[in-house]
A and B are shown apart, each in its own frame.
Chain A
Amino acid sequence: MPKRFMSIWFRHLTTDWLTLKQPELKDVPFVFAIKDHGRMLITATNRVAEVHGVKAGMVAADAKAIIVGLQVIDEQPGRAAKLLNALGEWCIRYTPIIAIDLPDGLMLDVSGCTHLWGGEREYLKTIVLKLRSKGYDARAAMADSIGAAWAIARFGRVSPIVESYGQATALLPLPPVALRLEPVITERLQKLGLRTIGSFIRMPRSVLRRRFGEHLLLRLNQALGNEDEPMQLLQPVEPYQERLPCMEPINTATGIEIAIRRLLESICKRLQQDGKGLRTGVLKCYRVDGKVEQVQIGTNRASHHLEHLFKLFELKIATIEPALGIELFVLDAPKVEDADPVQERLWGEVGGLDDTGVAELLDRIAGKINTNVIHRYLPDEHYWPERSVRKAATIMEKPTTTWRISRPRPTQLLARPEPVKVTSLVPDYPPMLFIYQDKVHHIKKADGPERIEREWWLENGERRDYYHVEDTDGKRYWIFRLGAYVAGETNQWFIHGFFA
């Protein structure tokens, strides 16, 4: 009994996907295009555009001339592969052996699967109709060989199912491109008037080899099923999830602790093997009464350190309400990241942010109080003082620029500049004194001004002239005058920071 293969062809893979995401595009002609030598080259079209004669390979400008209002959307390389991956995973319910067939298809080894769906015809119909109802314009064909299934799916006109051993006959009327040949070869066949596979399939092999090369023979043999073709199988990813059903409902803290520890043990082991670490962990506790209790932890850097993760959960145990008891624990790690395997070895020897100990300490503090209390700041490339620092998103984030030291900046910057009263002499001169919170500061020394303009692309407003001043107590302040000095008018002054 030969093997059976099914090829699925998605005729508008990427455009169908976008239509699914944005249903308003359904009746709008649109294409994906990519930049190529300064032109936009169309890589995929949707049905509507195709009906108007727009094809992949055309230049977007030409296509636009044909269809007024044609939408040209930037192609993201690799999207097709991603989509096929997802579609392939979905197909795993029909057969475990699936390969991605770039750029627009899937290849399924369906040997021994079809009878479960009531025969080949039903099997094929089910899949194709399901895919079509999802919104994908799919065609499929089944044959003994990968090559034949591929060819019939795309070029076949008789029946999508080629009977066993029937591929040779089925291939005869198809054009040579159906054999997946290089363009040079198909072109040469075309010029010689060999327009169907049938017109040359019976020629002596030596003649064909001499004129069209080994590749044609290989493809021919593969299609005929005389030569095996390897499949790059799709490996589905298993989610990081562990389940712990309990024989008897658990309703004590100790019980929960043990459960968490068990779950963590197995999940940490898997993470470690894969070189991953947990960033978010979710524990779901299914109660006997049907309710679900849930707690969540987060880490500042990816970790598969069991003790640490356990400590984080430990802080949350008190919030779990077991009521009559919990019969099932499920631990999920929805967010994982690559974890540096080195960190285990260098345990406790590195300082600063690279020290996992610091990160773990922060995790625990955050677990106790609140995540929004601890901030980390990084320098940002802005002259405007309020924007010259920004909050870091993670503990691992590297600064994109260095802290600038060439111009004096206060150690404490007020979140919002506070107005002060001043007595000053002339423009471009620092004031003689300023009053801040009812206290008069007589200025002894001053430097400046440093004139900083607004970032015009972000906001409108007046510039600031900053002075760095020292009062009679030897304390130093950062004050500024808002706006340009105009004779006869008084400017508003502000204090913005304190130097050490």
Chain B
Amino acid sequence: MSMEYTELQVTSNFSFLRGGSHPAELVEVAVKLGYTAIALTDRNSVAGVVRAHQAAKDAGIRFIPACRLDLIDGPSLLAYPTDITAWGRLCALLTKGNLRAEKGKCELYKNDVFEHAEGIKFIVIPPDELNTWFDFDDAFKQDLKEYQIALGSDLYIAATRSYHGDDAKRFYRLSQLRIPMVATNDVHYHEPERRELQDVVTCVREKCTINNAGFRLHTNAERHLKPIEEMERLFQQYPDALAHSREIAEACQFSLDTLKYLEPEWVSPDGRTADEHLASHTWAGAKKMFDDGEFEKVREQIQFELDFFKRRKLAPYFLRIYEYTQKAEELGILHQGRGSAANCAVCFCLGITPVNPAKSNLLFSRFMSDSREEWPDVDVDFEHERREEIIQWIYETYGREHAAIVATVTQERHKGAIRDVGKVMGISVDTINRLSGAIRDFSEDDFDRECIVSQGLNPDDPLLKKVLQLTEELMGFPRQLGQHTGGFVITQCKLSDLCPVMNARMENRTQLEWNKDDLEDLGILKVDVLALGMLTCIRKAFDLVKQHYGEELTLANVPQDDPAVYEMICHADTLGVFQIESRAQMSMLPRLKPREFYDLVIEVAIVRPGPIQGDMVHPYLRRRDGIDKVEYPSEELKKILKRTLGVPLFQEQAMEIAMVAANFTAAEADQLRRSMATFKAKGLVSNFRDKLVAGMMGKGYTEDFAKRIFKQLEGFGSYGFPESHATSFAHLVYISSWLKWYYPDVFAAALLNSQPMGFYQPAQIVIDAERHGVVVRPADVNHSMWDNTLEEKDGKYCAVRLGFRQVNGLRKDDMQALIAGRETGYTSISQLSNAGVPQAAIEKLSDADAFRSLKLDRREALWEVPALNDKPIGLFAGQPSESAMEAQATLPLMTQAEHVVQDYAATGLSLKAHPVSFVREKLNLLNVDTTSRLVQLKDGGLVKVAGLVTVRQRPGTAKGILFITIEDETGFANLVAFETVFDKYRKEILQSRLLMVEGKLQVEGEVIHVIAHRFFNLSTLLRGLTAAQNEDMPVLTLSRTDETTSAVTSAKEVFHKGRNFK
């Protein structure tokens, strides 16, 4: 009779740095070996069970979710919950252990286990070695007695053939203990070959190398899954041990699938159902939001959606989002929803999203339908500075037992994996660095022979080969559980009935052990509470508008479709505006010429790696400009592609094409998208490619088109940008543009107050504001607040007063003391000191030249500051200090140029002048044009421009091309350097603060580029801005001519180095 065997002791790589295989790999081999069930017992964690569960479900075998409990005061136990309540108890037990320890640890005691033991089968793990009497120690036997009393007939003991030479003796001793023996293999990897990797992760864990790991490794490679016949042979003398494994497996009929039914019921305050509540909120909202004409138009849509939600039992989910967005409303925190379900009419009526579905012609069914088993996805963005309030409100309102953040599983990536393996294998740090240098920044490709050779390494060296092989195996291993950026699971039942809860790294946060894919697989809904810097900026802007212009603005009431705003956008005058401020976006704007809202949606989505890699951008532009004819590959695709002129630009479109044109099921299409995001599932991706291309060609599409679609999907996988998100973002693009157009003063101040954010330095924001006619005033001890503020009208707009936050190194509380002590205004520096402003802060203020209202320039102020120290005290208090009597020292006068340099050093910007203006004369001698002259020049002409480097960018999508932006006193110039030029002038490009370029002008409508031919480092000109140093000193006779004296802080170092590519 063939016996059945179930492997019950399995450690996967979710026991971080212990297991050597993925849960799915283990399940796969179990299936191959003919197992009908398998358990997973990671250490004090169930983080890996969902993946194993899913894999087992796909393969059609049974999975037993379980856990190994490592206790502080007793031998370890394997725990197998038999039903859903026992599972809840196990999760509660782990939660208890997690919450009393710091993140990543779990502290459990025997008594905790006993309290939660009901319905759980246990296997106790005996010690590895027998004592000198060939027996188990008395202490262990004592513990066993205790376990026996507490756990009774649910307790078994593990018997493992570990081939340590004393297996027979061990088994004999185990059989004497009068506890039923269970055969296990203490599996750590799915196949014996993984022993090597398991040894490596052991070394990483123990922080040693493979050569000095010694006895910390296992003696042999026996800890893999074994065929059932082999198990029968190994346990010939103890057939009961095998039978018991089956006994436990049979007892544990609990499946993770049943957890779905725990999905919360919405507790109604008044007895009406969730659906009724949702409907009443929605209709009430609809009355408010729509005028009568519109209302008739959307009535049907709303009813359709409500019915849909009712069918899918989604009302509680939307009500929950409604609850916390209402809370944000109450607290005055700006928020905006996005995601596949967020752009529906119901969400608009509930105030979750301000995008009016009646206008944006977004079809709900495009995002959700009955045929697709997809879960709704609503992400809500909040102001980044105030999101924590909402998070804490959620914790408070629902309780920590009912709300927690979703986990993210941090994986070993190329660089980390090579570092870990390299260290363990004892290769030098230098070689490791060179190896990881051989990996391209932007790809997660396999190791490239050529790259390795180019680093001077021999890819055929056996050690190196081994390292690379192990690295590839290690890649994708989970390394730790982090918290998701904002995904929450909120349940009515205790969360710990579903999944263990643990402390997150951040204070006051608790999180789950499962990530979003795990939850999705189990059908547990999450909501996203995200942070968005631009919302902070917009809220601050709204506040300023209200304060200075008396207008009450909200995300919903900003006037839409203003042609003036679109005109500004068309001219790429969008510095600081949400999303469309990057160099790439800005150069797209004059070509795309957005005139209506949907154009902005496209603009947001088009300049993304997905469409760029898929080569979709140019065809779209050409069709839009009427150069190419709009045509569709087929009639069925016309429906999908019509709104983007036949060119797929959005993630949804690519997925729909896969479904319509290649007969993918919705689930497959979704799986495809997800597998792209996790680079590890390599084999899977190429399967999908073949399927997609074959499917499309089968339906008569060209191979080229099919491959392009796949390529785009690939891009979307990692940087996905769906239409539903683009729509919400486009709304913020419009609002920030509107603010910038009508209130440039407000916009600049709000933007500065929300830094760090976006692409630009404060200096550029200020310069941009000045160009738009805003007066910007310097920080001053008598006028500034911590934030940048608006003062009375000066010209068309209010003047912006820079705040102390722009001054480097100042602390907020010091400045609060300064403001509190200001009264009628400071007249001397010592008053600041009396007000409790520390001397260091006063020195920083003088560096920033903030004493002008006291008629002191920075140098005079700085001279005064140290003298504050000898304030007469005690008997002499109130007497003039000694320094007041000393003869006035004469300090060298500062030139304007010097002041500008110091302004930059202290605040990163200067209102006095642009640094380049001081060297303009010299630049004129070199025939250098100002950047503002470029517009008057002809396409193809040779030009020379020079300026401070503000941005250097090398996007992964444009191979080898470097984009540089320089700035002079008249404006910006955009430079393009091709790889050969970059290689040749690498030093100049990277080192220059003041960069001069010689090249060809390329004018495409309003988009002007300088295609660089040669670069020159003119930074030395800047050095001349500070009084020349040591210039009157002849050269030391014995010294070489080319030497420099050691550097004193020179002017060129205070300028921002420019944003660098990484």
Interface residues of A (CB under 8 A from B): 11, 52-53, 55, 62, 65-68, 72-74, 124-125, 128, 139-140, 154-160, 173-175, 177, 186-188, 190-196, 199, 203-204, 206-207, 210-212, 380-383, 401, 404-408, 428, 447-453, 456-457, 463, 465-466, 468
Is B212 in contact with chain A by the CB < 8 A criterion? Answer: yes
**A128 and B1038 contact, CB distance less than 8 A:** yes
Known: A66-B987, A203-B889, A448-B165. A456 touches B866 (CB 8 A): no
**A157 and B1030 contact, CB distance less than 8 A:** yes
Is B214 in contact with chain A by the CB < 8 A criterion? Answer: yes
When C-beta atoms are compared, the residue in chain A nearest to B1032 turns out to be: A173
**A173 and B1030 contact, CB distance less than 8 A:** yes
Known: A157-B1034, A159-B1036, A204-B887. A381 touches B863 (CB 8 A): no
Bound CA–CA A253/B987 (angstroms): 74
Least CB distance from B63 to A in Å reads: 30
B144-179: CB near A (< 8 Å → 1, else 0) gives 000000000000000000011110110000000000
Is B298 in contact with chain A by the CB < 8 A criterion? Answer: no
Please name all residues of chain A whose beta carbon is closer than 8 Å to the beta carbon of B882 when the two chains form the complex: 206, 210
A–B complex contacts, Cβ < 8 Å, 13 sampled: A72-B430, A140-B1038, A155-B1030, A177-B1046, A193-B859, A194-B892, A204-B886, A380-B214, A381-B213, A407-B164, A449-B163, A450-B166, A453-B219
Of B220, B863, B889, the residue contacting A453 (CB under 8 A) is: B220
**B425 and A457 contact, CB distance less than 8 A:** yes
B877-903: CB near A (< 8 Å → 1, else 0) gives 000001100110101111000100010
**A65 and B215 contact, CB distance less than 8 A:** no
**B165 and A447 contact, CB distance less than 8 A:** yes
Is B1045 in contact with chain A by the CB < 8 A criterion? Answer: yes
Of B169, B211, B990, B1045, the residue contacting A457 (CB under 8 A) is: B211
Is B1033 in contact with chain A by the CB < 8 A criterion? Answer: yes
Of A139, A177, A212, A383, the residue contacting B1039 (CB under 8 A) is: A139
**B886 and A451 contact, CB distance less than 8 A:** no
**A450 and B990 contact, CB distance less than 8 A:** no
Given contacts A154-B1045, A193-B898, A210-B866, 10 further A-B contacts (CB under 8 A): A62-B990, A66-B986, A66-B987, A73-B430, A74-B429, A177-B1046, A192-B863, A204-B887, A457-B211, A457-B425
Known: A156-B1036, A193-B894, A406-B129. A463 touches B220 (CB 8 A): yes
Q: Which of B411-436 contact A (CB under 8 A)?
A: 425, 429-430, 433
Is B59 in contact with chain A by the CB < 8 A criterion? Answer: no
Least CB distance from A283 to B in Å reads: 41
What are the 9 A-B residue pairs with the smallest beta carbon separation, nearest first? A381-B214, A450-B165, A451-B163, A193-B892, A157-B1033, A211-B866, A451-B220, A453-B220, A457-B210
Is B1027 in contact with chain A by the CB < 8 A criterion? Answer: yes
Please name all residues of chain B whose beta carbon is closer than 8 Å to the beta carbon of A203 when the two chains form the complex: 889
Q: Which of B181-236 contact A (CB under 8 A)?
A: 195-196, 199, 210-215, 217, 219-222, 233-234
**B1034 and A158 contact, CB distance less than 8 A:** yes
B1037-1056: CB near A (< 8 Å → 1, else 0) gives 11100010111110000000
When C-beta atoms are compared, the residue in chain A nearest to B906 turns out to be: A191
Bound CA–CA A408/B129 (angstroms): 13
Q: Which of B258-304 contact A (CB under 8 A)?
A: none
Bound CA–CA A192/B898 (angstroms): 11
**B892 and A199 contact, CB distance less than 8 A:** yes
Of A154, A158, A210, A405, the residue contacting B883 (CB under 8 A) is: A210
Known: A74-B430, A195-B1029. A210 touches B889 (CB 8 A): no
Is B870 in contact with chain A by the CB < 8 A criterion? Answer: yes
Bound CA–CA A468/B430 (angstroms): 47
Bound CA–CA A456/B1036 (angstroms): 63
**A212 and B866 contact, CB distance less than 8 A:** yes
**B986 and A65 contact, CB distance less than 8 A:** yes
**B1038 and A139 contact, CB distance less than 8 A:** yes
Of A124, A158, A207, the residue contacting B889 (CB under 8 A) is: A207
**A173 and B1033 contact, CB distance less than 8 A:** yes
When C-beta atoms are compared, the residue in chain B nearest to A71 turns out to be: B430
**B986 and A192 contact, CB distance less than 8 A:** no
When C-beta atoms are compared, the residue in chain A nearest to B219 turns out to be: A383
Please name all residues of chain B whose beta carbon is closer than 8 Å to the beta carbon of A449 when the two chains form the complex: 163, 165
**B863 and A211 contact, CB distance less than 8 A:** yes
Please name all residues of chain B whose beta carbon is closer than 8 Å to the beta carbon of A191 when the two chains form the complex: 847, 858-859, 862, 902
**A452 and B219 contact, CB distance less than 8 A:** yes
Please name all residues of chain B whose beta carbon is closer than 8 Å to the beta carbon of A74 when the two chains form the complex: 429-430
Known: A65-B986, A199-B892. A188 touches B1035 (CB 8 A): no
Least CB distance from A471 to B in Å reads: 19
Known: A67-B987, A68-B986, A195-B1048. A450 touches B164 (CB 8 A): yes
**B892 and A381 contact, CB distance less than 8 A:** no
Bound CA–CA A187/B844 (angstroms): 12
Of B165, B869, B1038, the residue contacting A468 (CB under 8 A) is: B165
Please name all residues of chain B whose beta carbon is closer than 8 Å to the beta carbon of A196 when the two chains form the complex: 1030
Please name all residues of chain B whose beta carbon is closer than 8 Å to the beta carbon of A66 when the two chains form the complex: 986-987, 990-991
Please name all residues of chain A whose beta carbon is closer than 8 Å to the beta carbon of B1032 when the two chains form the complex: 173
When C-beta atoms are compared, the residue in chain B nearest to A141 turns out to be: B1036
Least CB distance from A390 to B in Å reads: 12
Bound CA–CA A73/B217 (angstroms): 33
Bound CA–CA A160/B213 (angstroms): 58
Please name all residues of chain B whose beta carbon is closer than 8 Å to the beta carbon of A210 when the two chains form the complex: 866-867, 869-870, 882-883
Of B883, B891, B892, B1036, the residue contacting A160 (CB under 8 A) is: B1036
When C-beta atoms are compared, the residue in chain A nearest to B128 turns out to be: A406
B834-861: CB near A (< 8 Å → 1, else 0) gives 0000000000000100000000001100
**B165 and A407 contact, CB distance less than 8 A:** yes
Please name all residues of chain B whose beta carbon is closer than 8 Å to the beta carbon of A211 when the two chains form the complex: 863, 866-867
Is B466 in contact with chain A by the CB < 8 A criterion? Answer: yes
**B894 and A53 contact, CB distance less than 8 A:** no
Known: A125-B1038, A195-B1029, A207-B886. A155 touches B1046 (CB 8 A): yes
When C-beta atoms are compared, the residue in chain A nearest to B1027 turns out to be: A195
Is B132 in contact with chain A by the CB < 8 A criterion? Answer: yes
Please name all residues of chain A whose beta carbon is closer than 8 Å to the beta carbon of B215 when the two chains form the complex: 381, 383, 401, 404
Query: Which of A139, A154, A191 has the most B CB atoms < 10 Å from its CB?
Result: A191
**A160 and B987 contact, CB distance less than 8 A:** no
Bound CA–CA A42/B847 (angstroms): 29
Please name all residues of chain A whose beta carbon is closer than 8 Å to the beta carbon of B220 when the two chains form the complex: 451-453, 463
Least CB distance from A9 to B in Å reads: 10
